[in-house]
Amino acid sequence: MKRIITFIIAILMLYLIPSCSPGANTNTTAPAGNSVTSETQNPSVTQRTQPNVTEIEEASSQKEATQTYTTDISDDTTTRKDSHQTAGGSGKYKTLKGKRSSTAKTYTGFEPLPEVTLNVTDPTNLENLLTTKIEFSYGVAKGGTPSDQTIRNQAYFDSKSFDAIAYDNNTTEKVLYLTFDCGYENGYTTVILDILEEKKVPAAFFCTLDHIKAEPELIARMIKQGHIVGNHSAKHPSFSDISRTKMAAEIQTCDNYLRQNFGYSSPYFRFPKGDYSESALDLVQSVGFKSVFWSVSYADWDVNSQKGSQYAFDKVTSRLHPGAIILLHSVSKDNAEAMGDIIEWAREQGYKFKSLES
């Protein structure tokens, strides 16, 4: 009997010892739908040694969003790298002015505003926003109604959530916004300013840096008279032809000159030549500026092809509509001579002139 018991115990030991061995269960395949326990609870050091493409792009985008740059446009301003204000930073689309001071060495008598360094988000356009040039077209308004093209322009801006305006489609009131583009002086801006002051009409003058430097007294008068001096870039390039970084440099250079020499900054921008792209609209908005287009205009910029004040009067008054943004050029003799009559006629029709900031 003892021999039989001993034999049975020996057989059992042969089976039990292998089942308790550390190498007995070599199958590490987890059931379908589950992770292997060792990987989920204690990931190995070598697991995912390289980030995926999405992570690289996100990290790059985050880094680029915090980078600043110094403008590569040669002028007499310098960029303060310790300043990261955004134009209009004290309130969305609010013009900034320095304090009045008898000792301020600016053309306006306002204390200089600190220069800014605009942060260029997505400088290489990783979002693949369209860069195709769009030459702004506004159509011809008739019968007190904006053109179909103007309506489509604003619908496009709104659908893309761009801070851009072709006309004020948020009102049915008979309001008008008077704006001028200023690239050089032809002797008529003073006449226009005199009429605006007499008629108490606000306006916005979109000026290039060259014009600002050449005519500081006129620019100072615009500011002190309560008008907006908008940013029309430093060198007037087509924004659809330059990089996002250069777009920001164009805006920054012009803005910083106004800040330092006039104690003034306005967050309103008009594209040179009216050329823009989806990427350009995004860039302008991202650095804190509102793009201002127009719904009423005519071919008034050619100083060698002026056709008389009546022609200017007829062209402008026949195209007015509620919410219109009027674009004129201050170099036009016809505009200067017709300005008073245009204002009076519009008011007789029940129109009111308002500032872009009202």
Catalytic residue from among 122, 168, 181, 255: 181
Q: Is 76 one of the annotated active-site residues of the chain?
A: no
Contact predicate 328/299, CB 8 Å: no
What HEC string does the chain produce? CHHHHHHHHHHHHHHHHHHCCCCCCCCCCCCCCCCCHHHHHCCCCCCCCCCCHHHHHHHHHHHHHHCCCCCCCCCCCCCCCCCCCCCCCCCCCCCEECCECCCCCCCCCECCCCCCCCCCCCCCCCCCCCCCCEECCCCCCECCECCHHHHHHHHHHHHCCCCEECCCCCCCCCEEEEEEEECCCCCCHHHHHHHHHHHCCCCEEEECHHHHHHCHHHHHHHHHCCCEEEECCCCCCCHHHCCHHHHHHHHHHHHHHHHHHHCEECCEECCHHHEECHHHHHHHHHCCCEEECCCECCCCCCCCCCCCHHHHHHHHHCCCCCCEEEEEECCCHHHHHHHHHHHHHHHHCCCEECCCCC
Catalytic residue from among 122, 282, 329, 334: 329
Q: Is 84 one of the annotated active-site residues of the chain?
A: no
Active-site residue set: 181, 329
